[in-house]
């Protein structure tokens, strides 16, 4: 059987001529159905470009992205995206935002079914009390949960999360991480999480794949995370395997980061100059 | 209940009364006394200062005009006539009153006389209606047109006519500029191809628009007996004022937050729901800013256009009073000026209120 999601030699660059920047180079990735993958990388390494490629918002220069063996040509509701900055429509209520997506994906659904379907997913992210509220009345964490509910309500084949928690404070992030794992367990969706937090990747994912720093970013060697599910943050933190994995990933990222800055650094030849102040004058100054 | 009243005040643009109400209830005295001083007492004071300055200026101009008049009489008719003129002026006889900038008291007098005039005319009108009611009924049965009152319109009638013209022009502008603006905002090709024409037509003066519109309307409606002056003036008003809405709508639509566009793309919204569910709501604040400018420009331009097009309304009222040159004409012009200003202000407030109702930003 072919892989669920497959990226074959995908490259993407922005700009032309001298200003051309190769963001991603030769990305190869296969994801199996039901897997939870985390892509970890530095900021500016092209993580959002990678998500945009899979969601179909941009097209690769070379290579192809395959979902269930079919080439992706444009955005579609079979890939639910949770954007980094929530991207909720501020003129619609929580329910309105979710319903808009539901209506689009299931146009034949009756109004009552649509409402119930939306409520089910809002319930899943624990936002039922805020059904009729507008996004501006919600906190950052709540907004991100609405965004997750919207993506899930579309019943996508795969859930793409683009640094969903990076704009949140540490405490909210912790509780949402637990929630994301629970939702993943309940919905049994394939999830691809992009993050800059190594701990988050290890806590949530089956596989953590580092993205080397751009330009010419590519995927590094993967790290399989074998903790049993459901995972307990405290228990994992105390686990010696966690530290080992974490240090290995960070060490790897540091190495590729060092390699990049080392290769780029140029040695500047310093001019060989002598001061022209006369020696006796210098002595006077020193005195 | 209390918060409801305060909210209603805020929404109707009377938010400045809030500290006064709180003060009456005895809440946060020090803070609210300061707010009342700043938001109510000082503005009222400044109105009085303004009236005082007007009064001072008017009396200075009056005296100067008086001296000129006496001096003129002296040089033409001699000392005796000049003394008589001075006496006549000082006895406040209207026949020899110098014609200068009216004082606030004169303006008040003018307003009262306009109101009395209106009452008189509306009485005449209703009397006429009563008289012709029976005849009109007969004529209707015979399939003839009803006899209508053709007498002089009162000041209030003129205001109503002006408001009608401005609304017709405003609606024309909105119905033309918003759809075109959306289309231009969505298509960069169209935008750049029409941009030059828009940039050139935008600064054209209302007077030229009026002439242009009348050239077209004259030919198109040559055989029609409808009110051509009204049609010409409302179309010109629409053309002069629509640019703000057109440019703002285009800007608003073309600069919708890319995040919302991405959402729309990922959901694969159809063109129709993309426009109505995402692009329009996102650009409503910009569109309304444009509409508000359009309405105020329409009201401003209307006066000039009515004046030129001989269409009845406040503009022609001002012009007729100026030509009239009666001893209270100047005062009536100033009354009209304040009425125009006040109505313009109210129109803007109404638009602001509607914007608050519709826009997501206020919620």
3-state SS, chain A, equals CCCCEEEEEEEEEECCHHHCEEEEEEEEEEECCCCEEEEEECCCCCHHHHHHHHHCCCCCCEEEEEECCEECCCCCCCEEEECCCCCCCCCCCHHHHHHHHHHHHCCCCCHHHHHHHHHHHHHHCCCHHHCCCCHHHCCHHHHHHHHHHHHHHCCCCEEEEECCCCCCCHHHHHHHHHHHHHHHHHHCCEEEEEECCHHHHHHHCCEEEEECCCCCECECCCEECCCCCCCCHHHHHHCHHHHHHHHHHHHHHHHHHHHHHHHHCCCCCCCCCCCCCCHHHHHHHHC
Residue A107 main-chain phi, psi, to 5 deg = -65, -20
Please tell me whether residues B269 and B304 are part of one structural domain.
yes
**How many Å apart are CA A19 and CA B33, to the nearest integer?**
62
> B222 and B303 in one domain?
yes
Structural domains for chain A? 5-78+156-286 (3.40.50.300)
Residue A283 scores a pLDDT above 80 = no
Chain B environment of A81 (Cβ under 8 Å): 262, 266
DSSP symbol at B17 = G
Average model confidence (pLDDT) across chain A: 83
Check whether A229 has a pLDDT greater than 70. yes
B363–A105: do the CB atoms touch at under 8 Å? Answer: no
CB of A154 less than 8 A from some CB of B: yes
- Among B273, B287, B212, smallest CA distance to B242 is for B287
**Closest CB to A104 among B260, B267, B361:** B267
The most distant pair of C-alpha atoms in chain B lies apart, rounded to whole Å, by 94
- Same structural domain, B159 and B80: no
- CB-based contact B133:B95 (threshold 8 Å): no
- Closest by CA to A154, choosing from A232, A68, A55, is A55
Neighbours of B74 (CB within 10 A): 16
**pLDDT of amino acid A265:** 52
Q: d(Cα B311, Cα B354) in Å, to the nearest integer?
A: 30
Contact list, B281 vs chain A (CB under 8 Å)? 89, 91
Nearest one of A14, A41, A11 to A27, comparing CA atoms? A11
Predicted confidence (pLDDT) at residue B7 exceeds the cutoff of 60: yes
- Whether B363 maps to a domain, the answer reads no
Residue A1 has pLDDT above 80, yes or no: no
In chain A, residues with a C-beta closer than 8 Å to the C-beta of B361 are 90
pLDDT recorded at residue B180? 94
- For B:234-263, CB contacts with A below 8 A are 259-260, 262-263
- List all residues of chain B from 283 to 322 with a beta carbon under 8 Å from chain A: 284
Residue B302 lies in a domain: yes
Q: How far apart are CA A130 and CA B353, in angstroms?
A: 27
Q: What's the pLDDT band for A83 if we cut at 50, 70, 90?
A: confident
Same domain, B115 and B216: no
Domain termination site, one of B59, B76, B95: B95
The total number of residues shown for chain A amounts to 287
Q: Show the tokens assigned to B258.
A: 């890319």
Say whether both B128 and B179 belong to one domain: no
Q: Please tell me the predicted confidence (pLDDT) of residue A279.
A: 66
**DSSP character at residue B274:** I
Residues B159 and B143 in one domain: no
For residue B345, tell me if it sits in a domain: yes
Shared domain for B71 and B124, answered yes or no, is no
Domain that holds residue B114: 102-151
Which of these three, B74, B95, B116, is where a domain ends?
B95
Give the model confidence (pLDDT) of A54-77 as tens digits: 888 888 888 888 888 888 888 888
For chain B, the domain total comes to: 3
Task: Give B156 to chain A, closest Cα distance, Å.
Answer: 41
Of B262, B268, B281, the CB nearest to A77: B268
Question: Does the beta-carbon distance from B260 to A55 stay under 8 Å?
Answer: no
B199 alpha-carbon distance from chain centroid? 26
The tokens for A19 are 């200003």
How much is the mean pLDDT over chain B? 86
Query: Are residues B185 and B325 located together in one domain of the fold?
Result: yes
> Which is it for the CA torsion B208, B212, B213, B215, positive or negative?
positive
B357 CB within 8 Å of a chain A CB: no
Residues B64 and B162 in one domain: no
Closest-CA residue of chain B to A80: B266
∠ CA B297-B298-B304, rounded to 5° = 95
Examine the domain organization and report whether B243 and B117 are in the same domain. no
Residues A164-210: pLDDT tens digits? 887 778 888 888 888 888 888 888 889 999 988 888 888 888 888 88
> Of B95, B126, B141, which residue sits at a domain end?
B95
Question: Of the candidates B217, B263, B270, which has an alpha carbon nearest to the alpha carbon of residue B239?
Answer: B217
Whether A7 contacts A28, CB under 8 Å: yes
In a domain, B206, yes or no: yes
B163-204 confidence digits (pLDDT tens): 999 999 999 999 999 999 999 999 889 999 998 998 898 888
Please name which of A81, A7, A103 lies closest in space to residue B266, comparing C-alpha atoms.
Answer: A81
Q: Is the dihedral of CA B266, B271, B277, B280 positive or negative?
A: positive
Q: Which residues of B touch A158 (CB under 8 A)?
A: none
Domain membership of residue B215 (yes or no) is yes
Instruction: Please indicate whether, in this complex, the C-beta atoms of A87 and B278 are within 8 angstroms of each other.
Output: no
B324 in any annotated domain: yes
Instruction: Note whether B299 and B343 are within 8 A (CB).
Output: yes
Tell me how far apart the alpha carbons of residues A246 and A208 are, in angstroms, rounded to a whole number. 10
Same domain? For B313 and B167 the reply is yes
Domain harbouring B177, CATH code: 1.10.3720.10
Instruction: Assess contact for B207 and B304: CB atoms under 8 A.
Output: yes
Q: Are residues B345 and B304 in the same domain?
A: yes
CB atoms within 10 A of CB A6: 17
Give mean pLDDT, residues B102-122. Answer: 87
Give the nearest partner residue to B267 out of A83, A101, A136, using CB atoms. A101
Q: For residue B243, is it within any domain?
A: yes
**Rounded Cα gap, residues B170 and A65, in angstroms:** 52
Write the CA distances from B211 to B204, B232, B328, integer angstroms.
Answer: 12, 9, 32
């Amino acid at each position: 059987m072919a892989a669920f999601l497959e990226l074959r030699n995908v490259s993407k660059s922005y700009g032309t001529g001298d200003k051309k920047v190769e963001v991603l180079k030769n990305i190869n990735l296969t994801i199996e159905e039901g897997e939870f993958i985390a892509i970890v990388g530095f900021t500016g390494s092209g993580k959002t470009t990678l998500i945009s490629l899979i969601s179909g918002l941009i097209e690769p220069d070379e290579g192809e992205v395959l979902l269930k063996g079919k080439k992706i040509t444009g955005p579609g509701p079979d890939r639910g995206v949770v954007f980094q900055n929530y991207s909720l429509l501020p003129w619609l209520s929580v329910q309105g935002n979710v319903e808009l997506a539901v209506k689009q994906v299931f146009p034949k659904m009756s109004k009552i079914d649509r409402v119930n379907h939306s409520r089910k997913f809002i319930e899943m992210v624990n936002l039922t009390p805020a059904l009729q509220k507008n996004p501006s009345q919600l906190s950052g964490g709540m907004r991100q949960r609405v965004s997750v509910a919207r993506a899930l309500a579309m019943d996508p084949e795969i859930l793409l999360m683009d640094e969903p928690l990076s704009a949140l404070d540490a405490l909210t992030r912790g509780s949402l991480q637990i929630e994301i794992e629970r939702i993943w367990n309940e919905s049994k969706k394939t999830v691809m999480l992009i993050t800059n937090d190594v701990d988050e990747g290890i806590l949530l994912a089956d596989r953590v794949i580092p993205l080397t720093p751009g330009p010419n970013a590519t995927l590094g060697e993967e790290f399989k995370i074998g903790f049993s599910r459901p995972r307990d943050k405290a228990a994992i933190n105390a686990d010696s395997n966690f530290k080992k994995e974490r240090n290995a990933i960070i060490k790897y990222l540091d190495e590729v980061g060092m390699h990049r800055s080392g290769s780029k650094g140029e040695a500047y030849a310093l001019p060989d100059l002598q001061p022209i102040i006369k020696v006796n004058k210098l002595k006077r100054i020193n005195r | 209940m209390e918060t409801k009243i305060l909210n209603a005040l805020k929404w109707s643009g009377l938010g400045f009364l809030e500290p006064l109400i709180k003060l009456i209830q005895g809440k946060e005295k020090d803070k609210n006394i300061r707010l009342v001083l700043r938001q109510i007492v000082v503005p009222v004071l400044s109105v009085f200062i303004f009236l005082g300055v007007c009064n001072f200026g008017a009396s200075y101009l009056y005296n100067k005009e008086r001296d000129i008049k006496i001096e003129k009489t002296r040089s033409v008719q001699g000392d005796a006539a000049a003394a008589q003129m001075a006496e006549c002026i000082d006895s406040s006889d209207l026949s020899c009153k110098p014609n200068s900038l009216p004082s606030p008291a004169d303006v008040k007098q003018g307003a009262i006389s306009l109101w009395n005039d209106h009452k008189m005319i509306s009485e005449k009108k209703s009397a006429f209606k009563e008289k012709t009611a029976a005849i009109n009924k007969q004529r209707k049965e015979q399939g003839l047109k009803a006899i209508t009152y053709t007498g002089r319109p009162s000041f209030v009638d003129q205001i109503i006519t002006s408001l009608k013209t401005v609304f017709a022009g405003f609606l024309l502008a909105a119905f033309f500029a918003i759809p075109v603006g959306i289309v231009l905002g969505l298509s960069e090709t169209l935008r750049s191809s029409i941009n030059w024409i828009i940039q050139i037509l935008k600064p054209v003066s209302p007077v030229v628009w009026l002439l242009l519109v009348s050239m077209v309307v004259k030919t198109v409606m040559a055989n029609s007996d409808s009110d051509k002056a009204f049609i010409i003036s409302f179309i010109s008003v629409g053309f002069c004022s629509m640019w703000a809405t057109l440019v703002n709508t285009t800007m608003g639509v073309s600069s919708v937050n890319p995040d919302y566009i991405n959402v729309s793309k990922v959901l694969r919204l159809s063109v129709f729901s993309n426009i109505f569910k995402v692009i329009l709501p996102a650009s409503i604040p910009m569109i309304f800013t444009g509409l508000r400018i359009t309405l105020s420009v329409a009201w401003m331009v209307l006066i000039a256009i009515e004046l030129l097009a001989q269409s009845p309304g406040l503009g022609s009222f001002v012009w007729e009073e100026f030509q009239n040159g009666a001893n209270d004409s100047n005062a009536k012009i100033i009354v009209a000026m304040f009425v125009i200003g006040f109505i313009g202000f109210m129109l803007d407030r109404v638009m602001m209120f509607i914007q608050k109702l519709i826009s997501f930003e206020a919620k």
